[in-house]
Amino acid sequence: MSTWGWIYLLLLGIHVGMCLAWKPSGTVLYRSHVGEGCGIAMLERRGLLLLNLTPFGASFLCLLDGHLKAGEVRRLHQAVLGHTRMLRAACATLFTQLFLLVPLVFLLKIPAPLPWLVLAGLANLVLVWVSLWRAHRRLHPDRKAERLTLLFFSVVSPVDAVHAGDALLRKALEGFHPLALARVLCTEQAYLACAQRQLRQARFPFSEEDWIRLSRFVREEGGDPEVLTGPPQSRGGTRTFCPRCAQQYVLETGVCADCRGISLVKLISSPDGAGHAASRTADKGRDL
Ligand SMILES: [Zn+2]
C-alpha cells in the first residue's frame, strides 16, 4: 500500500475511534439519523457506544438531572438549525469527499487530477471553518474560548471538521433531560415510551424528588403519569408484570428477574378500568 493509502487508513481509524466511547451503565444517549428518526436509549450495562459516524444526524449524552424545559429545547434546536445550514451542508460535503469520493477515486483508479481533489477538499474545509465561527458566534456570542477551541480542532483535524455541525447541536442540547429532548425532537410514540420508562424508574423504587419533577413535566405536556405507569395489556398468557421495566411474566407472583427486589404486579386486561386500576396497582407495588 502506498504512503497515501496508509495516511488515509489512519484518518479513517481516527474517525471511527472518535465515534466510539466506553460508558458506564445508566448512560443515556440521544441519537438521530436522517431517515431513521430519533430515539433515547439507556445503557443497561457498561459498554462501548458507537456515536454518530456521519454528519447526517446527531448523537450525544443526556443528563438525568438535566433541565426539564421543552420550550427551551425547542428554542435552542430551532436556533441551531437556523444558524448552521451552511455549516451542516459543508460538513456533509466534506464527509462525502473524504469518505466516499476519495476511496472511489483510488479503489476504482478513476483518472482524477489529485491537485483538484485536494483543492476542492481545502476549499470545503475553509467553508467549514468560516461557517463554524459565524454560527457559534451567533449562538453563543459570549463563549469565545469555546469558539476558538472548536475552530482549533477543526483546523488540525479534518475529522473534527466533519462533525463541527454535530458539535454545535450537542453543545446546545446536552444539558437537558432526555424527556425534554424526546418531547421536542422525537415522535409522540418515542416520547411516550421515554416518559413511561422514566416515570416507572422514578416510582419503583420510589424517588419522591424525581417522581414530582417528572410527573409535573408530563402533566404540563398533556399526559397523565398515573395512566403511563399503569399496567400494560396482557400479551397472551401473561398474568403479571414488573412495574419498573414493564416486562410481562406468566407467573402469578414473584420478583422481576431484571430489577432487583421489585415485586410483580397483576396485569389488568380491561381497558375501562386501566386508569383507576393503574393507580392502585402502582401504589401497591411502591409499598412493597
Ligand atoms: Zn423489571
What would the pLDDT profile of 258-282 be if each residue is shown by its tens digit?
888 889 998 876 454 443 333 333 3
Predicted pLDDT of residue 222:
93
**C-alpha grid cell for residue 191?**
416520547
**C-alpha grid cell for residue 164?**
463541527
User: Are 205 and 281 part of one and the same domain?
Assistant: yes
Termini Cα distance of the chain: 66
Predicted pLDDT of residue 181:
93
Instruction: Give distance in angstroms: CA of 228 to centre of ligand 1.
Output: 16
Instruction: Give distance in angstroms: CA of 248 to centre of ligand 1.
Output: 9
Instruction: Give distance in angstroms: CA of 240 to centre of ligand 1.
Output: 11
Predicted pLDDT of residue 269:
64
User: Are 38 and 135 part of one and the same domain?
Assistant: yes
Query: Would you tell me how many other CB atoms lie within 10 Å of the CB of residue 136?
Result: 24
**Could you tell me which of 225, 245, 246, 244 has the C-alpha nearest to residue 235?**
246
Location of C-alpha cell 444526524: 57
**Could you tell me which of 60, 38, 56 has the C-alpha nearest to residue 93?**
56
The pTM (predicted TM-score) of the whole model is 0.78
Query: Would you tell me how many other CB atoms lie within 10 Å of the CB of residue 122?
Result: 11
User: Are 136 and 165 part of one and the same domain?
Assistant: yes
Number of domains into which the chain is organized: 2
Give the range of the structural domain holding residue 148, as residue numbers without chain letter: 3-179
Predicted pLDDT of residue 278:
37
User: Are 144 and 171 part of one and the same domain?
Assistant: yes
User: Are 221 and 254 part of one and the same domain?
Assistant: yes
Instruction: Give distance in angstroms: CA of 258 to centre of ligand 1.
Output: 5
**How far from the centroid of its chain's Cα atoms is residue 164's Cα?**
17
Instruction: Give distance in angstroms: CA of 194 to centre of ligand 1.
Output: 16
Predicted pLDDT of residue 281:
35
Kindly list the protein residues that place their beta carbon closer than 5 angstroms to ligand 1, a single-atom ion: 242, 244-245, 256, 258-259
User: Are 75 and 164 part of one and the same domain?
Assistant: yes
Cα Rg, the chain, nearest whole Å: 24
User: Are 22 and 159 part of one and the same domain?
Assistant: yes
User: Are 169 and 56 part of one and the same domain?
Assistant: yes
User: Are 30 and 169 part of one and the same domain?
Assistant: yes
**Cis amide bond preceding 205, omega within 30:** yes
Predicted pLDDT of residue 285:
33
**How far from the centroid of its chain's Cα atoms is residue 116's Cα?**
38
Mean pLDDT of the chain: 85
Choose one of 147, 179, 211: the last residue of a domain.
Answer: 179
Q: What is the C-alpha separation between 117 and 99, in angstroms, rounded?
A: 13
Predicted pLDDT of residue 73:
94
Predicted pLDDT of residue 287:
27
Report, as ranges of residue numbers, the positions in the chain whose pLDDT lies below 50. 270, 272-288
Choose one of 144, 161, 179: the last residue of a domain.
Answer: 179
Predicted pLDDT of residue 112:
64
**Could you tell me which of 175, 194, 191 has the C-alpha nearest to residue 183?**
191
User: Are 53 and 77 part of one and the same domain?
Assistant: yes
Instruction: Give distance in angstroms: CA of 136 to centre of ligand 1.
Output: 43
User: Are 255 and 168 part of one and the same domain?
Assistant: no
User: Are 150 and 8 part of one and the same domain?
Assistant: yes
